[in-house]
Amino acid sequence: MKNIRIIQSEVLSDNWYTLRKITYQSTNHDGSVILQSREAYDRGNGATILLYNKDNGAVILTRQFRMPTYLNGNENGYLIECCAGLLDKDNPEQCIKRETEEETGYKVSEVKKVFEAYMSPGSVTEILHFFVAEYTKEMKVGDGGGLYEESENIEVLELPFQQAIDMISTGEIKDAKTIMLLQYAQINQLII
C-alpha cells in the first residue's frame, strides 16, 4: 500500500460545487517517492433508489436533462434514470425518502439499502448509497417532477421491468446508477 501525503490543496472553482487541485507525495511498492497532482470534484455524497412493483411488474424511473451528456454526444441531453439526490445534511435513508417524494410523487416508508459505490473515482469524490423499495399506487401522494425552486423539470416514467432491462441493451438507458439497480433487481429476482 502506498503512503500518501498531501502537499497542497488548491481550490480551482467553488461555483456550484468545489473543484480542487491536489498535489501529493506517494511511496511506490519499490520505496521510491513520487510527486503527483490530480483534480478532484467534490459535489457531496448522494443516494439513489429503484422503486419496483411486484404485482404489475413495473419500475418507476425519471427522465431529465443532463447538460454533461448533451456536451458528450447525447443528442437531446435527456437521460432515463432512477430517482437520486444529494444527501445535503440528511443521512442516506432520509435523503432518498425525501427525493423519492419530490421527484416521483411516491411516499415510501420502507427502503432497503443494497450497496454503496464510488461512481467516478478518478475525478469525483462522491459515494452513492443505493436503495430499493416496493411501491403501490396508494403511495402516490403527488405529481413528482422535482422542486420548482431547484429548476427541476423531471418526467416520471412507470415502465414494465423487462422493458427497462431491454432499454439497457438498446442504449435508451445509459445512466450507470440505473443500470446497476436494474441489474441488481434482475439478479435478485425482485420482480418475477
What does the pLDDT look like over 41-67, one tens digit per residue?
999 999 999 999 999 999 999 999 999
Check residue 153 and give its pLDDT. Answer: 79
Q: Is the pLDDT of residue 118 over 70?
A: yes
Residue 170 has pLDDT above 90, yes or no: yes
Give the whole-angstrom CA distance, residue 133 versus residue 142.
Answer: 18
Half-sphere exposure of 66 (CA within 13 A, CB side): 14
Cell 444527501 locates to 87
Burial class (CB in 10 A: 0-12, 13-18, 19+), 66: middle
Task: Say whether pLDDT at 178 is over 90.
Answer: yes
Strand, helix or coil for residue 91: coil
- Category of 144 on φ-ψ map: left (φ > 0), alpha (ψ -120 to 50) or beta: left
Band (pLDDT 50/70/90 cuts) for residue 72 is very high
Is it the case that residue 125 has pLDDT exceeding 80? yes
Tens digit of pLDDT for each residue in 73-90? 999 999 999 999 999 888
> How confident is the model at residue 142, as a pLDDT?
86
C-alpha neighbours within 13 Å on the C-beta side of residue 56: 13
Domains belonging to the chain, first-starting first, are: 4-42 (no CATH), 46-187 (3.90.79.10)
